[in-house]
């Protein structure tokens, strides 16, 4: 459950935003002024503040300054009417997370709030790197007892207390982001913000502006000034994910930040001093990119000050049973059920498989098997054939080889092919509604009619789940109201 505080002096605005954001996963508090907002913050402890800029009494900016002084990690989104963008930009310089222009485009509004809540949640969750399997209270841990992982833990501990740049490498799904977050949580900057930027997910031309900001008019579309993540995250930690995907200009700018702690907005000419720790990650062999002159050698050496390499799961198979246990426990907690037991043959099969998608693929496989299992025990038949080695002739299907691992997608395709064969043979089956209906029933049974969990399991929103329940008249069937 996330907590959001809404500060606005207009009751109508508070009311409509409350209605837009209403959700069972969100606890919402409101305040009618900056002064009241500050009081609510100390009691309510929100994860995110949505605040109007122009208010009677203390303005949004003054309130933001006070919030930053006492709660530097609390994310604040400013809301401002068009035309007062300059104030919003000032707010970003003060470390606001984002700003929204009124009137809102509702889907965009929800998306920004959703992203901010996720960032707040990521920042809050302490990633422990000394696996405490016995302890009940750890939320997120990096599990592993293999020699290779012990080495990783040692490095995390060493690098965390320094301010050195760290480069985390490893195949997709090996836990690079988890390691980056563990470094942050154990660092001297843990009371300051942590912002993650996925360099591969942002179009090339926009990445530079995302990181360093831009001046008004610096390129077509730059209608207002924008503050970049480095400036915004001053004193904090930036996680640059997929760093292998940056253009040469961005690389040069990053190098400059690392060398002398300054950057410039795109189109700007005065250096801005920033104090930011950089943790970078990549699943591409950067040495090869350097050799091919796609990645600056000097930047590579600068990033590579401390290198933490996470070996692929197939090279540390002794971690597999431990990870399986951890995921089973996690699922049990999530569904508030006793943990399912797991057959020895299943563990054996899991230890044998080559895990192209690494720990992420293992987690997906366990999650899927947990859903498939009809009893309290997970059996070999609950695993996809390429993992169990049953029915697939041993060799993994072509789609699973070398794929950077989304096991769920591969499984879904296999399953869909099979269903499609049935549909072709007998159109009377009405395959899509029939399958949808069954999935909803199974999920509700599995979760004891907990709609939030059932929707999550199926990858749909609760509203969509409700629509399906109504459409198919499912509650009658399950004998619940």
Ligand X SMILES: Nc1ncnc2c1ncn2[C@@H]1O[C@H](COP(=O)(O)OP(=O)(O)OP(=O)(O)O)[C@@H](O)[C@H]1O
Min dist. Cβ of residue 358 to Mg ion (A): 11
Min dist. Cβ of residue 250 to ligand X (A): 19
d(CA 273, CA 261): 6
Cβ proximity of 279 and 238 under 8 Å: yes
Structure tokens given for 54 = 């122009």
Q: For ligand X, which is the closer residue by CB, 250 or 283?
A: 283
Cβ proximity of 415 and 439 under 8 Å: no
Min dist. Cβ of residue 111 to Mg ion (A): 21
Min dist. Cβ of residue 241 to Mg ion (A): 5
Interacting residues with ligand X (CB under 6 A): 142-144, 170, 172-178, 283, 323, 326, 359-360, 363
Which of 140, 132, 149, 137 is CA-nearest to residue 178?
A: 140
Q: Which partner, Mg ion, ligand X, none, binds residue 175 by CB below 5 to 8 Å per kind?
A: ligand X
Q: For Mg ion, which is the closer residue by CB, 177 or 334?
A: 177
What is the per-residue burial (b if ≥16 Cβ within 10 Å, else e) of 17-33? beeebebeebebbbbbb
Other beta carbons within 10 angstroms of residue 358's beta carbon come to: 23
Other beta carbons within 10 angstroms of residue 333's beta carbon come to: 12
Tell me, residue by residue from 180 to 219, as one string, x for binding to Mg ion by CB under 5 A and - for no binding.
Answer: ----------------------------------------
Q: Give the number of residues in contact with Mg ion, rule: CB under 5 A.
A: 1
Cβ proximity of 458 and 467 under 8 Å: no
d(CA 278, CA 293): 23
122 binds Mg ion (CB under 5 A): no
* DSSP designation for 125: S
The continuous run of DSSP H or E covering 208 comes out as helix 204-212
Q: For ligand X, which is the closer residue by CB, 142 or 207?
A: 142
Q: For Mg ion, which is the closer residue by CB, 98 or 177?
A: 177
Q: Which range of residues in 87-95, 174-182, 407-415, 464-472 is near Mg ion by CB under 5 A?
A: 174-182
Min dist. Cβ of residue 180 to ligand X (A): 8
Min dist. Cβ of residue 185 to ligand X (A): 14
Q: For ligand X, which is the closer residue by CB, 46 or 141?
A: 141
Contacts of 175 (CB under 8 A, 6+ apart): 142, 310, 358, 359
**Strand pairing of 226-227 and 98-102?**
unpaired
Min dist. Cβ of residue 210 to ligand X (A): 18
Question: Residue from 177, 351, 406, 446 that binds Mg ion (CB under 5 A)?
Answer: 177
Q: For Mg ion, which is the closer residue by CB, 187 or 358?
A: 358
Binding residues for Mg ion (CB under 5 A): 177
């Amino acid at each position: 459950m996330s907590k959001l505080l809404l500060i606005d002096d207009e009751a109508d605005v508070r009311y409509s935003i409350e209605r837009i954001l209403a959700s069972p996963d969100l606890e919402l508090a409101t305040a009618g002024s900056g002064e009241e907002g500050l009081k609510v913050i100390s009691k309510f402890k929100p994860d995110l503040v949505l605040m109007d800029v122009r208010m009677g009494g203390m303005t949004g900016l003054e309130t933001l300054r006070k919030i930053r002084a006492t709660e530097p990690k609390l994310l604040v989104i400013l809301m401002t009417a068009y035309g007062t963008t300059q104030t919003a930009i000032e707010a970003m310089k003060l470390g606001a997370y984002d700003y929204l222009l009124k009137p809102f485009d509702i889907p965009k509004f929800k998306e920004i709030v959703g992203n901010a809540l996720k960032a707040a949640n990521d920042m809050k969750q302490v990633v422990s790197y000394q696996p405490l399997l016995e302890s009940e209270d750890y939320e997120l841990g990096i599990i592993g007892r293999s020699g290779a992982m012990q080495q990783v833990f040692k490095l995390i501990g060493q690098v965390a207390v320094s301010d050195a740049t760290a480069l985390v490498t490893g195949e997709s799904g090996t836990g690079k982001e988890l390691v980056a977050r563990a470094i942050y949580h154990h660092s001297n900057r843990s009371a300051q913000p942590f912002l993650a930027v996925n360099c591969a997910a942002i179009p090339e031309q926009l990445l530079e502006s995302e990181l360093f900001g831009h001046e008004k008019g610096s390129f077509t579309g730059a209608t207002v000034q924008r503050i970049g993540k480095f400036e915004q995250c001053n004193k904090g930690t930036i996680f640059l994910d997929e760093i292998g995907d940056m253009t040469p200009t961005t690389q040069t700018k990053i190098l400059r930040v690392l060398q002398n702690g300054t950057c410039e907005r795109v189109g700007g000419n005065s250096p801005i001093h920033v104090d930011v720790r950089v943790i970078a990650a990549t699943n591409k062999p950067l040495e090869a990119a350097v050799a091919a002159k796609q990645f600056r050698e000097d930047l590579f050496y600068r990033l590579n000050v401390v290198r933490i390499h996470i070996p692929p799961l197939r090279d540390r198979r002794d971690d597999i049973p431990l990870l399986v246990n951890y995921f089973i426990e996690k699922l049990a907690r999530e569904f508030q059920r006793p943990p399912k037991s797991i057959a020895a043959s299943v563990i054996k099969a899991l230890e044998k498989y080559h895990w192209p998608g690494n720990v992420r693929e293992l987690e997906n496989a366990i999650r899927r098997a947990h859903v498939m299992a009809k009893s309290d025990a997970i059996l070999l038949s609950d695993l996809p054939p390429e993992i169990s080695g049953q029915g697939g002739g041993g060799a993994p299907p072509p789609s699973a080889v070398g794929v950077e691992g989304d096991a769920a997608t591969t499984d879904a395709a296999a399953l869909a092919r099979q269903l499609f064969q049935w549909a072709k043979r007998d159109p009377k089956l009405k395959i899509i509604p029939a399958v949808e209906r069954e999935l909803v029933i199974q999920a509700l049974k599995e979760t004891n009619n907990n709609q939030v969990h059932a929707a999550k399991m199926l990858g749909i929103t609760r509203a969509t789940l409700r629509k399906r329940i109504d459409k198919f008249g499912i509650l009658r069937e399950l004998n619940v109201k």
